[in-house]
Structure 1
Amino acid sequence: MSNRMKNPAEVIPQAYKGIGNLLAAVADGGLPETTTELIAMRVSSLNGCAACLQGHAVRVEEVGLPIEKIVGLAAYRESPFFSEAEKAALALADAVTRLADSEDAVPDELWREVTKHYDERQTAALILCIATHNLFNRVNVTVREDAENPFWMR
């Protein structure tokens, strides 16, 4: 499958800078890198973004994600390999990625679970991480970004 056009972040370089600033803010939010990678992979999987999944497959070894978490990501709720904090973060990623699937997209019970494990700065980083990866996915799926040679790896 070929790209429909250049990635919009290539066409409008200011967009790439803005996305970079969002990622830097997430990195500064106090979350473990393993958590942000799990979120990125979960969101990308839900959105069917092969280019992003491929990009994150390269990072999992760098951040030290064990194979049990990578393989078990689709069934994180039932998996014994995820901490309660990771499960809360992933549930938030599911809810925010699928906003239209529920009348109350982020119910209070989920919010309480997230904020039980993460302070305000970390929760802000979680929200920005989820939103930024949804942005990446929506752009990349729309233009059919090449998973074998995405523009950010060229």
Structure 2
Amino acid sequence: MGARLNFFADPIAGRVLNHFMSAGRTLKESPLPAATQELVALRVSQINGCAVCVDMHTKEAAAAGETSVRLNLVAAWREATVFTEAERAALELAEEGTRIADAAGGVSDEVWTNVAKHYDGEQLTALVILVSFMNTVNRLNIITQQPAGNYEPGQFH
């Protein structure tokens, strides 16, 4: 299976992707915990069905020391006992922020209040941008049918 577009060969896509890569690096350097970043990126990608990003973030998280138990339970985090309250709040924000059309008004005040209890201003800003960023990247990959399975940790750093 081949992709509909080769982002790295297209001059417009290449320039835009350079900005995306820069934004991604800025998020990685934010004070939002790295484990939370990977869990949120993985959950958003699972919801959207983006195989490329599920592959990437599962492998990146594992390479950073995340356990297979936690990675395997991200999709069922509500019933799992392996996530902190802060991680659970971030995952809930990720779900509501990804499924915006499912709820009138987008992210509920209850979810926002809960996540704001666990993260300071910079972390919360990074979390909101990460959810939005992942939704954008997921859509680019899905629309162009980017193939998954060959990602190597550190490939895009």
TM-score (norm 1): 0.91
The one-letter amino acid of 2:79's match is E
Which range moves more in the overlay, 105-114 or 23-32?
Answer: 23-32
- Contact preservation (8 Å) 1:97, 1:130: yes
Identity between Structure 1 and Structure 2 (%): 35
Q: Distance in 2 between matches of 1:60 and 1:135?
A: 20
Output the aligned Cα RMSD. 1.8
Is 1:92 matched up with 2:93? yes
- Contact preservation (8 Å) 1:29, 1:124: no
Structure 1 moving runs of 4+ over 4 Å: none
Q: Distance in 2 between matches of 1:110 and 1:139?
A: 27
For residues 5-154 of structure 1, what are the structure 2 equivalents within 5 Å?
A: 5-7=5-7, 10-11=9-10, 12-149=13-150, 153=155
TM superposition shift of 1:29: 2.1
Q: Distance in 2 between matches of 1:132 and 1:10?
A: 22
Q: Cα deviations across residues 5-40 of structure 1 (Å, max 9, x unaligned)?
A: 223x65222211211222122123201111100011
Q: Distance in 1 between matches of 2:27 and 2:53?
A: 17
Q: What count of residue pairs does the alignment treat as equivalent?
A: 152
* Structure 2 counterpart SS, 1:81: coil
- Contact preservation (8 Å) 1:22, 1:128: no
TM-score (norm 2): 0.89
- Contact preservation (8 Å) 2:62, 2:68: no
Aligned to 1:4: 4
Structure 1 gaps, min length 5: none
* Structure 2 counterpart SS, 1:106: coil
